[in-house]
Every structure is written in C-alpha cells, then in structure tokens.
Amino acid sequence: MLRVGFFPNLTHSPAIAARQLEREGSSWRDPHLDPVNVEWRGFNAGPSAIEALLNGSVDVVYVGASPLLNGYVRTRGKSLRLLAPVATGGNALVARKGLDVSGPGDFRDRRVATPQLGNSQDVSARAWLRSAGLKITLSGGDAQVIPAANPELMMLFARGQVDAAWTVEPWVSRLISDFGGVVVTEDAASVVTVLACSTAALDRRGEDVRAFVRSHFHLRDRLIADSRLHRRLLSAGLAAETRSKPMPDALLDSALRRFRLDGAEPASARLARLEASLGKSMADAVSAGLLRESIPLGPLLEGLQRETLAR
C-alpha cells in the first residue's frame, strides 16, 4: 500500500480527481501498468505533510515548494526528492474590501493571514512585505503575519480580524466571492504544487513510486485534454473532501482560471523552470528567517532526470 498525501486545494487537482474517480468506481491509473494500491491521506498545509513524509507516515505527497525546501534543507539534502511539478499559479494576496492598499508598504501595522507557518503562501507573504523594507518577524514586526488553517483563515477574514490573506485556490476565489475581497497581488509564475517523496520510500518501494508517478501523468494528461472532465471531477471531489456543497459554477470557473496544471515539457525546460522557481522560494525563505541557509538543489531534482519520470 502506497500512502499518498494531498490537500483539499484545487492546485492538488490530480489527487482530488483520482479520489473522485475511485468513488465513481472508475480507474485513474495508467492502463498499461499493474495497479498500485493507494491509501490517500489528507492534510491542511505543507509543513505537516512534510513532517509525515519525513517520519514515514506517508510515502509520497502533493505539496508546496516551500515546505519541501524546508525539509530538504533540514535533512541536508538527504531525505526528500521532487518527482514532478504539478501546478503553477493559483495563489494570491486578497485584502478586505475598502482598504486602501496596493503595495507592501501599505501593510504597515496591518495583519495578514496565511495557511500555515512556513508554507508556500506564508513565505511569499513575508518576502513580499519585506520587499518594501518592512521588518517582519515570526511573531510580529511592522506587519503581523498570522498562520491559520484555511477554514479558520476564512473566519478571521470575514470577522475583520485580519486585513488580508495570502492563500491558494479555491480559498482565493471564496474570499473574493463570499466576502468581497480584492486581489492585491498574485504570483502566476511560481510552481505552487509539486509531487515529492522520501528517499526511504524510493529505496523501499521505488517501483511503486515510479508507477504512481506514471499514473499521475496519465491522469494529468486526461485532465488537461478534457476541461469538462477536470471541472466535473474537481467540483464533486472537492465537495466530498470538504463535506460541503459543490462550489457555485462561477466560483469554480474563477478558481480554475487562476492556475494551470503543468503538462509535458522538454526535460531541459522543466529543469530550468524548477531551478528558477525553487531557487527563488529558497532565497525568500532564508530572507524571512524560515531557513538558515541555501543549499544546492541538485539532489532534490535528481529524480527528474530518470527516464521513467521525465514527462
């Protein structure tokens, strides 16, 4: 049994779609491969998922770049490997309606919520605020960054207890639709979700990991080719994961326009894109005080060089 972690975020749509197909009694796997039995495990944000990966509770996770880099640096590059990019974009800073804010300098003495300390949006928020010269510490500074799980983040925003939130879809579109939030800035070029595993899982269950990645690619290609299928599975799957009503059509359409699944691309282009995006994330985390240092990305990306994973 391969244990796979994911979040109920739209940028984790291959996992959400796979689980929904399983509920419907349909296959999401590559039909040319022997099936790999998968046990799905849900998380709220990246740091907790990476902890589970490092302690062996899961073997593979869909996760954001910053938590992956944190675990990679902490283990001196020995314990984690990136298997594939999954999604780009889909994250934004949303301010409450009526606030006179347009740049990072306008957030002095304001409160910004993020999904979890050290997750990708948390790092982006801290780096963006610091770009205006604001002092941002882990617990305060010229502006306060407040980590809160996405459902709690929504309540803080609705009650006016935070001035803005930097989060990911579908929460971005919900803040806009449900509470009149306004997008201040978004990072449409960053790799927001990747597929990663532990080196222990590769050593112990390498064939199963590689088979799972090939089935991920198979489903990803189906979803990219058939936008109606993608939309239907996300709508039903996200409702099932969050035990809520399906998202309104307009809300789902807005969320889907804000990110893209990473399709097949030349190996050299994929490697260069990941090196640039992950390198910036690592530098931002060091600047924010969430990482002590930068280390070479080579070992983290070595899985991308394997022929069986390079799609």
Q: What is the pLDDT of residue 267?
A: 87
**Mean pLDDT, to the nearest integer, of 169-185?**
94
> Is residue 205 pLDDT above 80, yes or no?
yes
* pLDDT band at 311; cut points 50, 70, 90: low
Domain boundary among 170, 186, 202: 186
Q: What is the pLDDT of residue 48?
A: 87
In a domain, 310, yes or no: no
* pLDDT band at 86; cut points 50, 70, 90: very high
Please indicate, yes or no, whether residues 292 and 197 belong to a single structural domain of this protein. Answer: yes
* pLDDT band at 23; cut points 50, 70, 90: very high
Please indicate, yes or no, whether residues 168 and 130 belong to a single structural domain of this protein. Answer: yes
Please indicate, yes or no, whether residues 181 and 98 belong to a single structural domain of this protein. Answer: yes
* pLDDT band at 14; cut points 50, 70, 90: very high
Please indicate, yes or no, whether residues 203 and 240 belong to a single structural domain of this protein. Answer: yes
In a domain, 173, yes or no: yes
Portion of the chain with pLDDT greater than 70, in percent: 97
Domain boundary among 159, 186, 213: 186
In a domain, 15, yes or no: yes
In a domain, 201, yes or no: yes
Please indicate, yes or no, whether residues 241 and 205 belong to a single structural domain of this protein. Answer: yes
Domain boundary among 186, 213, 242: 186
In a domain, 264, yes or no: yes
In a domain, 99, yes or no: yes
In a domain, 103, yes or no: yes
Please indicate, yes or no, whether residues 247 and 98 belong to a single structural domain of this protein. Answer: no
* pLDDT band at 45; cut points 50, 70, 90: confident
Task: State the virtual CA torsion across 137, 139, 158, 17 in degrees, nearest 10.
Answer: 80
Please indicate, yes or no, whether residues 162 and 209 belong to a single structural domain of this protein. Answer: no
Please indicate, yes or no, whether residues 163 and 106 belong to a single structural domain of this protein. Answer: yes
Q: Domain of 219?
A: 2-89+190-305
In a domain, 311, yes or no: no
Split into its structural domains, the chain has a count of 2
> Is residue 190 pLDDT above 90, yes or no?
no
In this structure, of 95-109, 184-198, 217-231, 291-305, the range with the lowest mean pLDDT score is 291-305
Please indicate, yes or no, whether residues 43 and 96 belong to a single structural domain of this protein. Answer: no
> Is residue 308 pLDDT above 50, yes or no?
no
Please indicate, yes or no, whether residues 195 and 144 belong to a single structural domain of this protein. Answer: no
Please indicate, yes or no, whether residues 145 and 155 belong to a single structural domain of this protein. Answer: yes
Please indicate, yes or no, whether residues 126 and 157 belong to a single structural domain of this protein. Answer: yes
CATH code for the domain in which residue 124 is found: 3.40.190.10
Q: What is the pLDDT of residue 120?
A: 86
Q: What is the pLDDT of residue 247?
A: 87
Summarised one tens digit per residue, pLDDT across range 232-269 is 999 999 999 989 899 899 999 999 999 999 999 998 89
Q: In whole numbers, what is the pLDDT of the chain averaged over residues?
A: 92
> Is residue 307 pLDDT above 80, yes or no?
no
Q: What is the pLDDT of residue 136?
A: 94
User: CB–CB of 209/59 below 8 Å?
Assistant: yes
